Amino acid sequence: MEEFILNLTPFNQRGYTTTWADKFNISWNDWNKVHYLLSLNPFDYQYTIEEKEFIKLNIGLYSQARVYLQDMQDDGLLVSGIPIKLHTMSEKSQVVHNLEYCLDTYNQWISYNKPNYAIGYQPTDLVQLIQHENTQWKFGNIDTASLLTYNDIDTTVIKHSDLKL
């Protein structure tokens, strides 16, 4: 995803691609993880101490990148925001009640159309993806979790409209 985004014209105007970290001083994964964690706040998500510390550590650079991206949108350089991770596969599987049917339909579409960019998945593949994703996106002890509050993030950062708590 990072490579795709950085190859978009607004990011690659000089014919060379840098990393997200070169552009924004925060890695793609860390930026995406902060955005994901903040997306849970309206649902009264209980953040672990480690998640709160991760947000505190990265919120400044995350916010600078968000402002830059919003400016690009406002200037008409981007049609919409950057695709980001707002749900893990585990969360999606809890919401999508016909996941096996969706998986079968997707695999049938691949078999019929044979696109060079798609691969098929089996239910066991999804279980492995969920386990891997949970180790990447979730961390900490849920027993000590609590809501994210104004005490957890510098109030000057929260003033950005998309970061209000």
Read off the pLDDT of residues 26-41 as tens digits, 9 standing for 90 and up.
Answer: 998 898 888 888 888 7
- Residue from 67, 63, 1 nearest 38 by CA: 63
Question: What is the reported pLDDT for 116?
Answer: 85
What is the biggest distance separating any 2 CA atoms in the chain, rounded to whole angstroms? 54
- Cβ-count burial 60-69 (b if 16+ within 10 Å, e if not): ebbbebbeeb
Please state the pTM of the whole predicted model.
Answer: 0.64
Is residue 62 within 8 Å of 68, Cβ to Cβ?
A: no
**40 or 158: whose pLDDT is higher?**
40
Read off the pLDDT of residues 95-145 as tens digits, 9 standing for 90 and up.
Answer: 788 988 999 999 999 999 998 888 888 888 888 887 877 776 666 666 666
Averaged pLDDT of the chain: 78
Residue 148: how many other CB atoms lie within 10 Å:
19
Q: What percent of the chain has pLDDT over 70?
A: 69
Question: What is the reported pLDDT for 106?
Answer: 92
- Residue from 73, 86, 81, 30 nearest 54 by CA: 30
User: What contacts 164, CB < 8 A, 6 or more positions away?
Assistant: 158
Question: What is the reported pLDDT for 67?
Answer: 87
Give the separation between CA 26 and CA 132, rounded to whole angstroms. Answer: 22
Question: What is the reported pLDDT for 86?
Answer: 60
The pLDDT-based confidence of 76 (bands split at 50, 70, 90) is: confident
Give me the half-sphere count of Cα atoms (radius 13 Å) on the Cβ side of residue 117: 0
**5 or 59: whose pLDDT is higher?**
59
